[in-house]
Structure 1
Amino acid sequence: MTLVILEAALHDKIWGGTALKDFHFPIKGDHVGEAWAIAAHKNGESIIKDGPFAGQTLTQLWQDNPNLFGGHEANEAFPLLIKILDAHQDLSIQVHPNDTQSREKYGKTECWYILDATPNAKIYYGHYAQSRDELKAMVEKEDWDHMLRTVPVKKGDFFYVPAGTFHALGAGIVALETQQSSDTTYRFYDFDRVDATTGQKRDLQIADALDVTTVPHHDPVLKQTTTIVDQTIVTRLVTSVKFTVEKLSVRGLSMFNLAHHYELFTVIDGAGRVNETAVKKGDSFILFDDEAISYALDGDMTIIKSFVTKDDNPDQRF
C-alpha cells in the first residue's frame, strides 16, 4: 500500500489570523487564512514530502500515475480539495455554483467540520428570502439584518454546504473544509472591508451570486451513522453525490480495509501511526490500494477521512 504525506499550500486572507500554527504549519504572517492540505488546483498545490514521489505536486502524481487512482481520463481533474481555515474575522457572504453553472471543471459543494470556535461564534448559513425577487430586493437594499440567517457553532459541529447555499464562516472559527476542487466564489457582501495591500474593497459578484443561489433555503437532513472498528469510533458525517466524509476517533490499534482506490486523511488532533508511518495533528496523507487493501491505525488521534462517493450506493446519501 502506497502512502504519501503532503505539504500544504498556505494562503494569506484579509480575514485570516495565526491559529493554523496549532496544526504545525509554518505560519510566517498574521493573516494566514487557508492551508490547502490536499490540493491539486492551479491556485494551490500540495507537495509530496517524501518517498518515491517526493517533491512532486499532487497534480503531477495524478497526471503521471493514473493507475494509482484507479484510472481516469487524461483531461480529468483531481476531484477533491481539503482545506483548514482560520476565520479570525468573518468571511465574505458568498455562494458557489454547481457543476453546470461553474466556469471551472467542477462546481463547489463543500462541508465544514468545526475544529475550534470561540464562545458565541456563529456561521452565516442560508437566508430568509422566499423568492428570488425578494432576495434581490434585500441585497439591493443591503438589508442584511433581515436576510442573513446565522447558526451558533461549537467545536465538533458539522455542516454540509451544497452549491447554491448562501454562507460564510463567522469570526473565531477554525474549520476543516472538504470540497470539490474548485475555487469559484461569488460574493454578495464583504462587510465593506478594505484590503490593506490594494487599498480597495474586494470585488463583489452580486449578479452571478443571485443567479446561482438556491431560493428558498432549506437545511439538508443528514443520515449520520456511527460504527466501531476495533479501537476506533467511525462517524459518517455525510454521504453526498460528490464526496463522503467520516471522522475516525482512534484510541488504539485498529485494522481497516481501503474500500476505494484512494482515500484522503487529515489528522485534526493527537498523534499516532499509519502502518509504520508516524503522523501528527496537521498532517494530511493519501492511501492507495496498489499493493494491499488493509492498513493499521494506532495511537490517540482524530482523523477526518474523505473519498469520492460511489455511484452504486445511493441509499446511503442524505
Structure 2
Amino acid sequence: MMEPLFLHPVMQEKIWGGTRLREEFDYVIPSETTGECWAISAHPNGVSTVVNGAFAGWGLDQLYAQHRELFGNSESPVFPLLTKILDANDWLSVQVHPDDTYGLAHEGELGKTECWYVIAADEGAEIIYGHQAQSKEDLAAQIQAGNWEDLLTRVPVKAGDFFFVPSGTMHAIGKRILILETQQSSDTTYRVYDFDRRDDQGNLRELHIQQSIDVTTIGQPANSHPDKQIIGNLATTTFVSNPFFTVYQWEVTGPVEMKKVADYYLVSVLDGQGQVTVGEQTYPLQKGQHFILPSTVTSWKFDGQLHLIASHP
C-alpha cells in the first residue's frame, strides 16, 4: 500500500475552548466551547478515522493493531503519539503530567511528555512554564498556601514559538493562544490549580494535589534549541528530538523531493496549499489536513506553498 493515510479528526469540548478551530481551519465544531482537535489519534478517548484508500473507515487504533507493518512493525503496544490542535480561548488549568513509570502504575497508561508549536497568539499572551519552588517541601507549602503569583513562572509567547514540555513540568496554556501539540498518547492530567473556576453545574473542577506534588520536577524546564536548514525549496526546522518523538517544521516553497529517515511520519498542514505525490498518485493538500506517511511510503514529493509540522516516534 503506497499511499498517505488522511485522517478525520475528533473534536473535544472544553470549559476553556472557543471557536477558532472553525474560524482558522474550517472544522465543523460541536459548540462554541470547542477546545481540542484530536487530529492524529488512536487513543480510546478520541480515535481518528482514515478517510481515503484501502483502509477508509478504519479507526487508527484498529489499523495500528492489525497492520503494524505500516508503522515499522513497532513494538509499542499502543500507537505512541497523539497530534492535537488546541484553542485556548481562556486559561487551561495549571497542570502536570506523570512519566511512564508513574502513569502506568497509577493510571494504567503512558505518561505524557509533550511539546507545543504556537500557531497564533494574541498580543500579550503568555503561558505558565515551570515553577519557582526549590524543593518538594517548598512546592507543597506554596501550593497549600495558594501562593500562585510567586510560585508559577509566566512566559510571554508569540506565533512561531516552540516549547518542549517534559513529564513533570508544571504548565498551563494561556488565553487566546492556538497551539499544535505533539505528545505521547496519554490523557492523564493532574490539575494543581484551576483559577477557582466552576463548571456549567456550578461545581469547582477536581484537583489532584497529591499526584501533582508526587510527579512535579524541581528546577526550571529546559527548552529545546531549534535547528534550521534550508535546501532548495525546503526549510526544515528540527524543533526537538528525544526518546519519545522528533518534531519538525517543513516550509515548502516549490517542488521538493523527500526520502524517509524514520519508520513513519505524522504530518499536519498548518497553512498554505499544494500537493503531495506518492508513486504515480498526487493528493491535494490544504490547511487543516492531517495525514500519516506509513512505512510503505519510502519517498514522496511536495509542491506548492505549505507550512507543515511533522513528527515521528
- TM-score, reference length from structure 2: 0.95
Give CA-to-partner distance per residue, 1:113-153, whole Å, 9 cap, x none: 00000000000010111111111111001111111110000
Counterpart amino acid of 1:170? G
Q: Distance in 2 between matches of 1:67 and 1:273?
A: 25
Q: Distance in 2 between matches of 1:193 and 1:270?
A: 38
In the alignment, structure 1 segments of 5+ residues that lack a partner are 309-318
Contact 1:104 1:184 in 2 (8 A): no
Which of 131, 152, 156 matches 1:127? 131
The offset of 1:271, in angstroms, is: 1.1
The offset of 1:221, in angstroms, is: 4.5
State the secondary structure of the residue aligned to 2:69: helix
The offset of 1:228, in angstroms, is: 2.1
Q: Which residue of 2 aligns with 1:286?
A: 292
Which of 165, 172, 176 matches 2:169? 165
Which of 294, 306, 309 matches 1:304? 309
The offset of 1:9, in angstroms, is: 0.5
State the secondary structure of the residue aligned to 1:175: strand
Q: Distance in 2 between matches of 1:236 and 1:129?
A: 31
Which of 272, 288, 295 matches 2:300? 295
State the secondary structure of the residue aligned to 1:52: helix
State the secondary structure of the residue aligned to 2:53: coil
State whether structure 2 residue 183 is matched by structure 1 residue 179: yes
Closer/same/farther in 2, CA of residues 221 and 19 from structure 1, 3 Å limit: closer
Counterpart mapping for 1:19-30 below 5 A: 19-21=20-22, 22-30=24-32
State the secondary structure of the residue aligned to 2:83: strand
State the secondary structure of the residue aligned to 2:54: coil
Counterpart amino acid of 1:282? G
State whether structure 2 residue 239 is matched by structure 1 residue 237: yes
State whether structure 2 residue 157 is matched by structure 1 residue 153: yes
Counterpart mapping for 1:133-282 below 5 A: 133-196=137-200, 198-215=201-218, 217-275=219-277, 276-282=282-288
Counterpart amino acid of 1:205? H
State the secondary structure of the residue aligned to 2:21: helix
Q: Which residue of 2 aligns with 1:62?
A: 64
Q: Which residue of 1 aligns with 2:83?
A: 82
Q: Distance in 2 between matches of 1:67 and 1:241?
A: 21
Give CA-to-partner distance per residue, 1:160-214, whole Å, 9 cap, x none: 0000000010001000000000000000011111111x33111000000000000
Give CA-to-partner distance per residue, 1:42-65, whole Å, 9 cap, x none: 111101112111111100110111
State the secondary structure of the residue aligned to 2:137: helix
- TM-score, reference length from structure 1: 0.93
State whether structure 2 residue 87 is matched by structure 1 residue 48: no
The offset of 1:104, in angstroms, is: 3.4
State the secondary structure of the residue aligned to 1:101: helix
Which of 105, 108, 114 matches 2:112? 108
After TM superposition, what 4+ stretches of structure 1 lie above 6 angstroms from structure 2?
Answer: none
The offset of 1:223, in angstroms, is: 3.7
Matched pairs, number: 304
